[in-house]
Structure 1
Amino acid sequence: MTAPLRVRQTPPRMAAIWCPDWPVTAARAEHGLFGDPPVAVFTANRVVACSQSARNHGIKRGLRRREAQSRCPDLIVLARNEAAEARAFEPVISAIEAIAPGVEVDRPGLAAIGIGGPTRYFGGETAVLHALSRAIGTHTDNVLIGVADGAFAAEQAARHGTLVPAGTSPAFLAQLPIDTLDEPELVDLLTRLGIRTLGAFAALPAADVHARFGPAGAWAHRQAGGVDARPIAARRPPVEFEVTVEFDPPLDRVDSIAFSARGAVEQFILDLADHGLACTCFELISATDRGEESVRRWRHAGILSAIDVTDRIRWQLEGWLNRAAGEPNAPTGPITSLQLVPVDTVPTGSHQRALWGADGAADERAHRALARVATLLGHGSVATPVVSGGRSPAQRTKLIPWGDDRPDGSHDELARRPWPGRLPSPAPSVILDPPQPVEVRDGTGHDVLVTERGALPNPPVHLVLETGRTSTVTAWAGPWPVDERWWDCQARQQLARLQLVDGSGRAYLVCYRLTDRRWYLEGIYD
């Protein structure tokens, strides 16, 4: 029989340690880069992190590589290495553990600790912050520490590098923008409803929020109101949910260990699900044949799937097994066992993400399928499209690796801007990348030209596709001329777009580039 659920009324005081742009820091260390050159880390040909000097040139998350390099020709392009990020963060975690045990790692670059015990030991929260800064400062100078009531408020305090006095976390959170919440769909809806800050969202009645937005909205509402970001129904599950994996013979390769532990990890998640529970935080204990141990707590913003748990096993082992000889707690032998201990769990329905009253089962199945594909093919192989700003359909579509946060919270605002030269709705259902060369001819069989002023002397009559098929144009609209970034010789675009409809009723979006005086097929309307 399980213990009754305990509801925490007062959020605990927590300290969050955040290392901004940690993928950049780890990539610099891996490639031996010094100073502050403009650096960007890429996954699937898109920026996932960049240095401050790169941001000064207009680089930001989500940009394509070509666009980023056009904005900053001196940009240093590096591929993301999540294993290297975990290895580089390992000394930081060890330094935090020297101050307070029980470090909870959200991801490489972000960790948190309960500050109650260290405060009594060091004589105050400010003293704890100084102790953490001194301990971490020997490993990296790129760190921000914040203290607040609850994990969510502490993370936001760390991003602002501040200590929020006890009891004032709701007031601190109230001034933050609504896109601070890690719920893109909910944030988009709240923004369209005119809610711009966490305070405005927290002011809504909790019962009405739950009735309108479901459990996901209620979860976000508690965060916005300064309630502990950990689930209210969180508890330490019974010991029968702990899983131990023995390796005989012992293993010293991370990929072999992760593969061997995969079945146990899936059983770990299924055992919890059979009891109506989902894990949000677990403790991973790895041991060698020499008796050495590495213990870490891993927390997830949502609920942990088998893929999430396996990823964190890789991260922890990459950091531990690659310690140099002589470093504190460096392993001297292969791994003999792994132990998974669930720390915090929630009922399986308390964090479902369906906003419109469904049970979320279809979303969960889709999430598992896409997560499995991403694991097999690599990070960035599965992407989610979001609407952003731009004039062409390709510019207005941004692809984000599955499971990643949005590059920034400004995409919706960018999409609503006027964008002179933008095509009217609807957008093409198929976008060609790269565009295909085509021919647009007039009634005499000559190529249709577009003047420098965006005029069309002769109307289009025939469209010749790359396959050689010729279609008769029965209707057309445009042109929509675009002359952008005229001050940049490399990035300047001078073109005009047309919408064409052929005799079969199929519509096309074609583009005439004045630089090479050729037509290209950009999209198809199905």
Structure 2
Amino acid sequence: MVDRASEAVELLRGLGIRTCADFLGLGRGRVCERFGDVGDALWILASGGDGNVAPTDRIQPDIAVECSIDAGGESIDTMMVPIVRLARDLALKLAQGGLVSQTLRIDVEDAGGGQRTRTWSGCNLWAPDDVALRVRWTLAGWTSGVNGPSGAVASIRVTACDPREGHGTTALWGRGDRERDVLRSVVRIQGMAGPDALLVPRVQGGYDPRSRVVMARWGSESRLRSCEGAWEGRIAQPPATLFDEPVRVRIVGESGIFDDVRVDHRGALSAVPAYFIDPHDTTRSTSGRGRRVAITRVEGPWPVGGRWWAKERPRAYMRVLLEDGRDVFLVWQGGEWAMEGLTQ
């Protein structure tokens, strides 16, 4: 990946992209479409995100297979026979070397000297159908675009980038019809709407539930923060339900509704939490300030300093068991309490 990253940086420099701001201005979708996993890694670094270098036993060179299209380069359907053969040859080379790769680079050249390069992440290169499908959609995107080919397709090269030792995950007897349909739909959506069109949740290292969950591209090996190591002060038991947006609430002491419980800069409570007040729930509320429910148990608070370079504010988390049976996960931030989630 280091070599491909260097090539990407040199190409960007030649295009006049010399600062992180210039690079981010290209848009993440276009960067990932052109450079694949390398572009995603460069984007994370340029935007100040956390990078994670995956350990590897031995660096393997990229594996490429190329074929010439002597006839039928005007039609994608006509080219599918050599494309499938090309995909099988690539899978065979990986299998013979005991290698796996999830990054596919496709280079196409037409008779007029035009070129098209597309990098796909999250591929199973042991499955020729996967490779052939991505080649097909790369050609379809090129021929339907404004800057299409200047002639018939003359050659196609597929490259397994950054292979490593391992075994493929393709089932012995192949895929079922349902799995093939899902794969075709995913590849089509990514081809039309970009690599970030389909996202799945992944768990990474972090101090609190919200920072430990990240949405990653479908099928990709995302560079996540390691869950191993010492995350001092982390929340050991995250809530079962995490809200999309925290819900603002109040925590008050025994003295009454005006005795708001606060957290000081050392992470200590100003009073013993006695009641939970939800301003949005006015059922059985005589004051109009929200329903008040007694707190029967308190765990925490757990202060988190926050990463200032990521514009995170200091915060503190607390878990309370309410009289009505709800197990609520709370966050204190910016002088306010909010519900982050529910355990029950």
Deviation at 1:423, TM superposition (A): 0.9
1:131-142 mapped onto 2 (5 Å cutoff): none
Structure 1 partner of 2:55? 179
Answering whether residue 327 of structure 2 is matched by residue 507 of structure 1, we say yes
SS of 1:308's equivalent in the other structure is helix
- Rounded to whole Å, the distance in 1 between the matches of 2:134 and 2:214 is 24
Change (3 A) 1:318 1:364: closer
In structure 2, the residue matched to 1:43 is 28
Q: Deviations over 1:319-363 (max 9, x none)?
A: 9958xxxxxxxx8xx54x44787989xxxxx84357xx9966476
1:246-285 to 2 correspondences below 5 Å? 246=74, 261=76, 280=91, 284=108
Aligned to 2:302: 481
Could you say if the C-alpha distance between residues 243 and 496 of structure 1 is closer, same or farther in structure 2, counting changes exceeding 3 Å?
A: farther
Secondary structure of residue in 1 paired with 2:187: helix
- Equivalence map 1:9-88=2 (5 Å): 18-20=3-5, 30=15, 32-34=16-18, 41=24, 43=28, 48-50=40-42, 59-61=49-51
Would the alpha carbon gap of residues 405 and 434 (structure 1) be closer, same or farther in structure 2, given more than 3 Å must change?
A: same
The CA deviation string for residues 167-191 of structure 1, in whole angstroms up to 9 with x for no partner, is xxxxxxxxxx9733xxxxxxxxxxx
Asked if the contact 1:476–1:501 (Cα under 8 Å) also holds between the matched residues in 2, the reply is: yes
CA 1:17/1:509 → structure 2, altered by over 3 Å: closer, same or farther?
A: closer
State the shift of 1:390 in Å: 1.6
CA deviations over 1:40-82 (Å, ceiling 9, x no partner): 5453799824399x67x965559xxxxxxxxxxxxxxxxxxxx
For residues 370 and 460 of structure 1, the distance between their equivalents in structure 2, rounded to whole angstroms, comes to 50
For the 8 Å contact 1:48–1:407, the answer to whether it is kept is no
Q: Give the equivalent residue in structure 2 for 1:374.
A: 190
- Select the residue among 67, 72, 93 that pairs with 1:244: 72
CA separation in 1, counterparts of 2:17 and 2:140? 26
Distance of 2:21 and 2:107 partners within structure 1:
37
Q: Which residue of 2 aligns with 1:461?
A: 275
Match for residue 440 of structure 1 among 236, 248, 251:
251
Alignment of 1:127-526 (within 5 A): 179-180=55-56, 197=57, 244=72, 246=74, 261=76, 280=91, 284=108, 286-287=110-111, 292=112, 302=125, 303=127, 304-305=130-131, 307-313=133-139, 321=147, 334-335=150-151, 337-338=152-153, 351-353=168-170, 361=176, 366-407=182-223, 411-412=225-226, 415-425=227-237, 427-443=238-254, 444-446=256-258, 447-456=260-269, 457-464=271-278, 466=280, 470=291, 472-473=293-294, 475-484=296-305, 488=308, 491=311, 493-502=313-322, 505-513=325-333, 516-525=334-343
Question: Is the Cα–Cα contact under 8 Å of residues 461 and 474 in structure 1 kept in the other structure?
Answer: yes
Change in Cα spacing, 1:285 to 1:22, as seen in structure 2 (3 Å) is closer
Please, which runs of 5 or more residues in structure 1 have no aligned partner?
1-15, 63-176, 181-196, 199-223, 248-260, 323-330, 345-349
Structure-2 separation of matches of 1:269 and 1:508? 59
Residues 59 and 494 (structure 1 numbering): CA distance in 2 closer, same or farther, change over 3 Å?
closer
Evaluate the alpha carbon distance shift between residue 402 and residue 389 of structure 1 in structure 2; reply closer, same or farther with a 3 A threshold.
Answer: same
Given the superposition, is the C-alpha separation of residues 340 and 490 from structure 1 closer, same or farther in structure 2, using an over 3 Å criterion? Answer: closer
Q: Deviations over 1:120-166 (max 9, x none)?
A: xxxxxxxxxxxxxxxxxxxxxxxxxxxxxxxxxxxxxxxxxxxxxxx
The answer as to whether partners of 2:273 and 2:295 remain within 8 angstroms in 1 is no
Alpha-carbon distance in structure 2 between the residues aligned to 1:474 and 1:519: 15
Aligned match of 2:99? none
**1:283/1:342 contact within 8 Å kept:** yes
Q: Is the 8 A contact 2:253 2:261 kept in 1?
A: yes
Report deviation, 1:387. 2.4
Instruction: State the SS of the aligned residue for 1:394.
Output: helix
Q: Which has the higher contact order (CA 8 A, sep 6+)?
A: 2
Aligned equivalents of 1:497, 1:523: Cα separation in 2: 11
Cα deviation for residue 509 of structure 1 reads 1.6
The alignment's C-alpha RMSD in Å is: 5.3
Amino acid paired to 1:286:
D
TM-score normalised per structure 2: 0.60
Which amino acid is the alignment partner of residue 342 of structure 2?
Answer: I
Change (3 A) 1:496 1:375: same
Q: How far did 1:301 drift?
A: 6.7
Cα distance change, pair 296–321 in 1 and its aligned pair in 2 (3 A): closer
C-alpha distance in 1 between matches for 2:9 and 2:142? 19
Number of aligned pairs? Answer: 299
Aligned equivalents of 1:33, 1:278: Cα separation in 2: 37
Post-superposition offset of 1:382: 1.5
Give the C-alpha shift of residue 506 in structure 1. 4.0
Residue identity over aligned pairs, in percent, reads 16
Q: Matches of 2:117 and 2:262 in 1, distance apart?
A: 64
- Further displaced range: 415-424 or 362-371: 362-371
Looking at structure 1, the residues matched to 21 and 317 of structure 2 have their Cα atoms a distance apart, in angstroms, of 35
- The 5 Å alignment of 1:83-98 reads none
Please report how far the alpha carbon of residue 438 of structure 1 lies from its aligned counterpart in structure 2 after TM superposition: 2.5
Q: Which amino acid aligns with 1:497?
A: Y
- Residues 431, 455 of structure 1: CA spacing in aligned structure 2 closer, same or farther, 3 A cutoff? same
Q: CA deviation at 1:315?
A: 7.9
Aligned partner of residue 169 in structure 2, secondary structure:
coil
The AA in structure 1 aligned to 2:187 is A
Distance, in Å, in 2 between the alignment partners of 1:17 and 1:497 is: 40
Q: Relative to structure 1, is the Cα distance of residues 353 and 493 closer, same or farther in structure 2, using a 3 angstrom cutoff?
A: farther
